[in-house]
Chain A
Amino acid sequence: MLDALARFGRHGMAALERFGRAHLLFLQIVAGITSLLPRPGLLVTQTYSVGVRTLVIVTVSGLFVGMVLALQGYYVLSQFAAEDSLGVMVAASLVRELGPVVTALLFAGRAGSALTAEIGLMKATEQLSGLEMMAVDPVRRILTPRFFAGLISMPVLAALFSAIGALGGYFVGVGLLGVDDGAFWSQMQAKIDWNEDVINGVIKSLVFGLVCTWIALFQGYDSVPTSEGVSRATTRTVVHSALAVLVLDFVLTAMMFGE
């Protein structure tokens, strides 16, 4: 009994310590922006590898999610003879929820895991120590550009997801199910509010981008420098990111639309 308690305490302390380290690292990463500004090239390269390479999976997923939304929405709405509102329904679901959330989950799986593995392997192969000994701060040089690349990429990816999703909804709703073309777009235009829907969606995706990239970088930087350690860290990145995104989504939604 006492043993279990002691073990629980130790795990608790370890977790708390990790939490503290993660926050310290966050501050160091953000402070690194001073050395990032004179070298925008670093940011461009990283935005390419973090953002652009996630494009394909985000667009394909967006298309299918939009198509499914239209299918499901149509059957519900048609019961109330409200098929004309299909455009609003699809767009609102995408912009408010599915765009930011699904993109973040895909981002964690595609870009986050890659970031963790990359940084973890750099640690395991002493590349980070090597930088330190060359008087180069690995946090500023390696982590900071990746962090801001993730922060920039996520809202753009989420917007793209929503846009492609709306098109997917259009194909299914108007093309397949025969919803009126004009009604689909004009209702969407009229009922989607810029502040209420679009800005809130962007805020969500910014928060998710920050958290997912932060988790990925911390897990890589804090990983045990062995193959096994890196593989565990990569798994943790995906799991922690997914949980964080879903919990934060609830909190943010409650704050934004709760009143």
Chain B
Amino acid sequence: MSGHSGSAETPIVKIRGLHFAHGSRVIFDGIDIDIPRGRVTAIMGPSGTGKTTLLKLIGGQLRPDAGTIEVDGIDVHRLSRRDLFRLRMRMGMLFQSGALLTDIDVFENVAYPLREHTDLPESMIRVLVLMKLEAVGLRGAHDLMPAELSGGMARRVALARAIALDPMMVMYDEPFTGQDPISMGVLAKLIRRLNDAVQITSVLVSHDVEETSAIADLIYVISGGKVVEQGTPDQLSISTSDQVRQFMRGLPDGPMRFHYEALPLVEELLGSGRKP
């Protein structure tokens, strides 16, 4: 079902002049991003910069205040609900929390999109589901309930579900968080393999500089509502930007702040400031 209607050169996701605010808190203040077809593109940035929000905007779950987002040449936010759903069938999304349905077991979770959107016979669904689960190393866990999985396992099941329909693009929200080094390596290879073998475009949101640099073709670093740097992992590792240097090396001091906006600590503790 991985339809490739555009040519290889046109980006699969084209974001222009994106502005978005949660209430009065500005998350994106005019960003442009091109996600090339058939590559692994990473979106990186400190916690709370809006990486998850960006994926939700691309998936059409949130509306931008200004600017456009095109996926495969289609403006996501001008689609009717029906067309949006048709587009979403070609996008997989791995939620940060997994978002598995808790009242059905692992097998049924992965089978869910297949049952909803195809008329495949049961035997075929069984084969497909077990293959996807095998790919994430959890075939043996197919009859467990989501509550019986660890966080990392749940995320791998969610990954199997996200690729069940063989989408043209998969968005991974923090796939590496909570994984041990072995499954982290396996996941990274899996993402790379899906990409190389079946030309699935991957959009990867992550904090994990090392693992991400190893598999990404292109990295965007977002901070403070702007794209602060973009380029290949090699280009970024020699970037002269303070922000990028700080982020890539994990230094506490620099232009990127670890703290959410606040009054100076002393002021707040001594109670001389107004309540933030």
Whether both chains belong to one complex is answered with yes
Residues from chain A with a CB closer than 8 A to the CB of B158 are 130
A122–B99 Cα gap in the complex (Å)? 9
Q: Which residues, 104 to 136 on A, are CB-close (under 8 Å) to B?
A: 122, 125-127, 129-136
Residue with the highest number of chain B CB atoms closer than 10 Å, among A122, A127, A131, A135: A135
Residues B59 and A135 in contact, CB atoms below 8 Å apart: no
User: A130-149 toward B: CB 8 Å interface, digit per residue (1/0)?
Assistant: 11111111000000000000
Q: When the two chains form their complex, are residues B95 and A134 in contact, meaning their CB atoms are under 8 A apart?
A: no
Complex: A127 Cα to B61 Cα, angstroms: 13
On whether A127 and B91 interact (CB within 8 A), knowing A133-B61, A134-B116, A135-B85, the answer reads: no
CB-nearest residue of chain B relative to A126? Answer: B99
CA distance A127 to B95 in the complex (A): 10
Q: Are A136 and B116 in contact (CB under 8 A)?
A: yes
Shortest CB-to-CB span from B1 to chain A, Å, is: 12
A224 to B261, CA, bound (A): 24
Q: Which of A130, A133, A135 contacts B101 (CB 8 A)?
A: A130
CB-based nearest B residue for A121: B102
**Chain B residues with CB below 8 A from A137, complex form:** 81, 85
- Chain A residues contacting B116 (CB-CB under 8 Å) are 134-136
Q: Provide the bound-state CA to CA distance between A43 and B222, in Å.
A: 46
Question: B44 at interface (Cβ–Cβ under 8 A)?
Answer: no
Q: Are A125 and B89 in contact (CB under 8 A)?
A: no
Closest B residue to A141 by CB, please name it.
B116
Q: Is the CB of A127 within 8 A of B85?
A: no
Instruction: Check if B113 is an interface residue, CB within 8 A of chain A.
Output: yes
B86–A135 touching, CB < 8 Å: yes
Q: Find residues 41-66 in chain B having any chain A CB closer than 8 Å to their own CB.
A: 56, 59, 61
Whether A135 and B61, one on each chain, are in contact in the complex, defined by CB atoms closer than 8 angstroms, is no
How many residues on the B side are at the interface (Cβ–Cβ under 8 A)?
22
The answer to the question of B100 belonging to the interface, with a C-beta cut-off of 8 Å to chain A, is: yes
A135 with B117: CB separation less than 8 A: yes
B88 within 8 Å of A (CB atoms): yes
What residue of chain A has the Cβ atom nearest to residue B85's Cβ?
A135
The complex places the Cα of A133 from the Cα of B89 at a distance, in Å, of 8
- In the complex, A135→B56 CA distance in Å? 14
A142 nearest CB neighbor, chain B only: B101
Partner of B100, one of A129, A130, A132, A135: A130
Q: Which residue of B lies closest to A137 (CB)?
A: B85
Beta-carbon nearest neighbor of B96 in chain A: A126
Asked if B177 lies at the interface with its beta carbon under 8 angstroms from chain A, I say no
Q: In the complex, A199→B68 CA distance in Å?
A: 57
Among A122, A125, A135, the residue within 8 A (CB) of B88 is: A135
What residues of chain B have their CB less than 8 Å away from a CB belonging to chain A? 56, 59, 61, 81, 85-86, 88-89, 91, 93, 95, 97, 99-102, 112-113, 116-117, 158, 161
Chain A to chain B contacts (Cβ below 8 Å), 17 pairs: A122-B102, A126-B97, A127-B101, A129-B95, A130-B93, A130-B95, A130-B99, A130-B101, A132-B59, A132-B88, A134-B112, A134-B116, A135-B88, A135-B113, A136-B112, A136-B116, A137-B81
- Given contacts A125-B102, A126-B99, A135-B117, 8 further A-B pairs with CB under 8 A are A127-B99, A129-B56, A129-B61, A132-B88, A133-B59, A133-B91, A133-B93, A135-B89
